Structure 1
């Protein structure tokens, strides 16, 4: 079990397992009839997954444009579950196929907000690709289902491959669970 920053990290999905799954996902995405595809990475946690997935999409024969959006779901201090745009996309999404890419899907609030926003702005279609799906956490009022899923995630807090705790562990090339002090 690797030790990082004085913590034991249990590897859930290795770097090689993730890389193989990214290529499979890219092939699944390429099999869809997307036209004028714009991949929108939902920051911050998805930045590594998005980069690797877009490169795998290139290997699968695709040529998507890439954009970024940063969203935050607030709880304390404002209305519970309110989603705020911290950084918006620069591109016009009207009459384009959009693929939202995120690291993990839990409640579904943030990705539902992003999907609805792109549709309101005139997107032809909006698909969702996530590295991890915590389907047991999906809320009844947000029945969003992803179109492309890397892995079903057990009900644990995970780190690595872009995901953090207190801005730490994003650099890990794998997804893991903090198992405790070393």
Structure 2
């Protein structure tokens, strides 16, 4: 792991409280025949907590996973979207809850949303833990947003930098990656 220190942006208590609120907001939309689809790998911790909260809110979604790559080992999106792992479940006629860690450029979520609509999903709702609205390059809106995120490189709670930091129980910023580039 690199020597970077992560500054806490959203601690465990704030994450837990907001996930419960998001589950209540999702349940209030009365989804039908719901399938939850986390985008791996960064969303896995958020998705696990959100799925348990959805259960407490009275929902029992089926779960499948999709893996989409756009970052590689870098700190900015490559701009190229690659479907690494496809769904095994049919979404035609169903409500879909697409779960992601961060809405930044919008490319990944726009790609995934369109893929699901093209496959006949009745409705695609997007839940994202973080949103950087000032970084969007493609217009896509999340239906449920945990937190507005400052323009920092974030890690923890499933999000990584080159495979590290996913284990952190909070969302933090890597200070040395936030410094202006010369």
What's the TM-score once normalised by structure 2's chain length? 0.90
Match of 1:17 in 2: 14
1:173 corresponding residue in structure 2: 169
Bigger fraction of residues in strand: 1
Gap change, CA 1:82 and 1:138, over 3 Å in 2: same
> In structure 2, what is the Cα distance between the partners aligned to 1:111 and 1:39?
14
CA distance in 1, matches of 2:140, 2:37: 17
- Hey, what does 2:37 align to over in structure 1? 40
**CA deviation vs aligned residue, 1:56-110 (integer Å, no higher than 9, x gap):** 00011111111100011379xxxx7332211001000000000100000001011
Structure 1 regions of 5+ residues with no counterpart?
Answer: none
- Equivalent residue runs for 1:148-167 within 5 Å: 148-167=144-163
Q: What stretches of structure 2 of length at least 5 have no aligned partner? A: 73-77, 177-182
Q: For residues 30 and 40 of structure 1, what CA distance do their matches in structure 2 show?
A: 16
| Separation (CA, whole Å) in 2 of partners of 1:55 and 1:74 | 28
Aligned mates of 2:136, 2:173 — CA distance in 1: 20
Counterpart position of 2:75: none
Query: How far 1:7 moved relative to its partner?
Result: 3.5
Number of residues of Structure 1 aligned to a counterpart in Structure 2:
171
Instruction: Please state if 1:82 is matched with 2:80.
Output: yes
Q: Say if 1:74 and 1:84, in contact at 8 Å, map to a contact too.
A: no
Match 2:121 to one of 115, 119, 123: 123
When normalised by structure 1's length, the TM-score is 0.90
TM superposition shift of 1:178? 1.9
In the TM superposition, what is the alpha-carbon distance from 1:5 to its structure 2 partner? 6.4
What is the distance in 1 between the residues matched to 2:47 and 2:151? 23
